[in-house]
Structure 1
């Protein structure tokens, strides 16, 4: 037993070093690399990100040898440490949090964020310098916008130059009401002049809170708490929930709360949490089918009512404008004509890909409702969300944040290939490479699913083909049948006739 304890201490020390290395590399990547430099070389960022995923994988594997209270301590320490390291610099692969800040500033001024575009001259009095720096005068007498994150636009009324850290300054906001309430709440506390750190801090708090929820929920349901590391230490969480502060993190919190409430037979409360999740970023609707098997009507009614009620104040002030830029966004992303579907476009080009994708998602949703264990819906949610990401193949890796808690709850590590494929697509926007990454993810997921359900089937798939033994030549056989050697028996796993 002393030897076993010594072995455990070594494992704890090695895992701790790996987590410290992950935190250090996370901070380095935030400070050293971004996607905003003109003529940028993404290779160093890809290598750095690959290193983060490798450290993550090693730490998770070695955690299997750790027992007792140390598991929880390591998971929480890694969640806090890696997340805090992700706050050392501004967003490095997305400008979305600048839009979040602007929407919050507008809302705290008593104006609906759906009413005006950021380029509207009527909002000039609200513009902080860190989001809208003044243009600089060149030697030639021209006004130009300066800065890595700064884009050049024109004001909608006066056509004056507008320098902005926001993307799409000429269109209204796209975010649903729960997200807008969150943005306004953050800015009500910090004011308009605090830059990126308020949303990064709330992202850290939400991500660590999710780690705590997973640990508590797993303990109560008899799930190995070590699986919580698949969320807590994942590089995607540090990058997209903290550094880039994506609002998807809030949707994850509401969705996971809904799952634990529904499995605890609190259907109305679970439906309210689900409605708030959908009113944060729409994507959590993919988690709904797995929660409809038992008392699903209560969950659905509560979710729909919550979603609609959150929209009421904005509809009363803005009307149809609450749809924001959503229709334009879907068209811009290629979902109307089918060009965005990386794999489906190979077999269903153009608009037909939209129909095929819709049919596939509908069939998967029906199967999830039919087959899901209502006491353990996370496997159905994993399949529904993961399949949607593989089919829709979005350009944005942060959409996969919603998938990670269900990877942890189900222990299906192979689904981590989905966020890895989407991360690769973000950093290296190559359709052929994306197709290879997504196809690889699908193959591994299918093989591992077969192995988990029927291990002997998966083994048979990879077993070398055996050659049938040669049949004896009747002409050369002895005349007495009794002297014939017995036929060798067929191997038990040999295919028929083989």
Structure 2
């Protein structure tokens, strides 16, 4: 009976389960996008209703959170991946690896891979681009492709990793003295369930490893174990690489942490580097060509275009060649003098600044959220599933702006499925409310306990107290006095190199 009482709060998930059963009936979500968005909107309203009740549950809700997360995901597992075809690329790359070929060096269109071509290959976009996925993800893909039903098998694997992330997040909340119910903002989030159980995105593997790393960095830090978890995150997807300097400082023993993280990463990455002669070509193509829905990128490249920055730089390059007499060394730069690439260079500098700023962070939870949030805001490409890297920390801090964004970003599927560039009204509908919430918080709100002469506590107990009692918003997540957000990554515009990509669907993400 006590066990049943502890699991009883899982019944609160019924509005979300009902909405997801509706999605199962729709089945082809891309063909019925209006109905899909309506059902997802209803699911988010259900989350608003149940999350606060879970936080106030009189009995420990950790097991109920996981049971509810499972129930929310089960109806989505049979869905075909019509909103994103990334899972097709996962299975193809896994098939290539399982056949003993190298997907980092061989693009799907390579003649050497002709004997492997099948229905998956025929539906692949961007066959000219080799894989971008790190070795751990590739190993998981190759396991899935060997199983009797590869796509359901992969989605079950990804969902298992997702549920593991939910459980680790519950443990993190309890370690911080927070109610386990707060993790429902992530574990029961409709976006998370859709993108992992429904569309099968590999990000779930990396997020689970990152939550494990942060948990292991909390009081009584275990640097070797945390470094191992961080390496697993990097080898699933490269995002956590940016957090290594911050986590190393927070571990208390940076040498041990980095020995585990960088050592394991190097062992797995060296064969890839040796096979490709450096950075894998798929990553280069992705970095140069992919762009969609970047909140700072979209206005920045248009501003650079309006002020004719690229022609001005070209004239400067002409002048430099005349002064120095260096021609062959500078000529290769001209193809990259277009607004989108210049914007990416500026935002790459912003990402580097975010990594440097993260070195000041003492709290692994807030610091990880801030860093990943800033990286996402500086990215040229922001697909809906990229938010999975930020949402665990937004859930623990009950960050209204980022949690609202997890619902608003579903609007980006509208232009994607129409096969057109990002519509301005969709861009404004997604990012306008988000930045408005950040501005409101910076302008009108203060952190819990702040006064004219007070300073934020850096002691774990002080942080736990603030987290436990503050009602909505927590430490600033963008640079500034108060508030803010926590902050990853083509378009065939004139002057841009051939091969650039317009729109997100099917990209190597």
Q: Smaller-chain TM-score range?
A: 0.7 to 0.9
For the residue of structure 2 that corresponds to 1:117, the secondary structure is: coil
User: 2:247 matched to which residue of 1?
Assistant: 291
**Residue segments in structure 2 that go unaligned for 5+ positions in a row:** 306-338, 416-421, 452-509
1:201: Cα distance to partner? Answer: 0.5
Shift of 1:265: 2.0
Residues 1:23 and 2:17 aligned together: yes
With over 3 angstroms needed to count, the CA separation of the structure-2 counterparts of 1:244 and 1:445, relative to structure 1, is: same
Out of 214, 233, 257, the residue aligned to residue 169 of structure 2 is: 214
Aligned partner of 1:64 in structure 2 is 55
CA change 1:340–1:446 in 2 (3 A) is closer
Paired residue for 1:167, among 112, 115, 125? 125
Query: Alignment partner for residue 221 of structure 2, among 258, 261, 265?
Result: 265
Change in CA separation of 1:204 and 1:310 when aligned onto 2, cut-off 3 Å: same
Q: Report what 1:330 is aligned to.
A: 287
| Contact in 2 for aligned 1:342/1:392 (Cα 8 Å) | no
In structure 1, the residue matched to 2:102 is: 112
Task: Please report the TM-score for the alignment, with normalisation by the length of structure 2.
Answer: 0.71
What is the aligned counterpart of 2:192 among 237, 243, 258?
Answer: 237
In 2 relative to 1, CA 356–238 (structure 1 residues): closer, same or farther, beyond 3 Å?
A: same
CA drift of 1:340 comes to 7.8
Q: Which residue of 1 aligns with 2:140?
A: 182
- In 1, Cα distance between equivalents of 2:394 and 2:185: 7
Distance 1:27 1:343, change over 3 A: farther
Q: Pick from 198, 209, 213: which aligns with 1:254?
A: 209
Cα 1:196–1:340, aligned 2, differ >3 Å: closer, same or farther? farther
CA distance in 2 between counterparts of 1:116 and 1:215 reads 41
CA distance in 1, matches of 2:16, 2:215: 30
Partner residue of 1:77 out of 67, 78, 89 = 67
Question: Is the CA contact (8 Å cut-off) linking 1:284 and 1:402 kept in structure 2?
Answer: no
Gaps spanning 5+ residues in structure 1: where?
1-8, 133-163, 458-498
Which of 370, 376, 381 matches 1:383?
A: 370
Deviation at 1:399, TM superposition (A): 1.0
Give 1 or 2 for the bigger CA radius of gyration: 1
For 2:186 and 2:47, how far apart are their aligned partners in 1? 10
For the pair 1:308 / 2:308, whether they are aligned, the reply is: no
**SS, match of residue 260 in structure 1:** helix
- Contact 1:290/1:378, CA 8 A, preserved across alignment: no
1:94-109 to 2 correspondences below 5 Å: 94-109=84-99
- Aligned pair partner of 1:398 in 385, 408, 418: 385
Counterpart for residue 423 of structure 2? 430
Aligned to 2:156, the other structure's residue is in SS state helix
Determine helix, strand or coil for the equivalent of 2:88. Answer: helix
CA 1:432–1:355 in 2, change beyond 3 Å: closer, same or farther? farther
Per mean C-alpha deviation after superposition, the further-off stretch among 72-81 and 300-309 is 300-309
Q: Is the 8 A contact 1:90 1:196 kept in 2?
A: no
Q: Residue 218 of structure 1: CA displacement?
A: 2.3
Do the aligned partners of 2:373 and 2:390 also contact (CA within 8 Å) in 1?
yes
| 1:47 to partner: Cα distance | 2.0
Does residue 54 of structure 1 match 2:45? yes
Match of 1:203 in 2: 158
* Comparing 223-232 and 355-364, the one that deviates more: 355-364
* Aligned mates of 2:198, 2:128 — CA distance in 1: 25
Partner of 1:472: none
Secondary structure at the counterpart of residue 133 of structure 2? coil
Displacement of 1:67 after TM fit? 1.6
Counterpart CA distance in 1 for 2:401 and 2:23 is 25
- 1:359–1:328 distance in 2 versus 1, CA, 3 Å: closer
Please, what is the CA RMSD of the aligned residues?
A: 3.1
Q: 1:453 to 1:346 in 2, by over 3 A?
A: farther
Is contact 1:24-1:85 (8 Å) kept?
Answer: no
Tell me the distance in 1 between the aligned counterparts of 2:180 and 2:10.
17
Equivalent-residue separation in structure 1 for 2:12 and 2:269 (angstroms): 45
Per the normalisation by structure 1, the TM-score is: 0.73
Bigger relative contact order (CA 8 A; separation at least 6): 2
Q: CA deviation at 1:434?
A: 1.4
Are the aligned partners of 2:28 and 2:79 in contact in 1 as well (CA < 8 Å)? no
- Give 1:447's aligned residue: 440
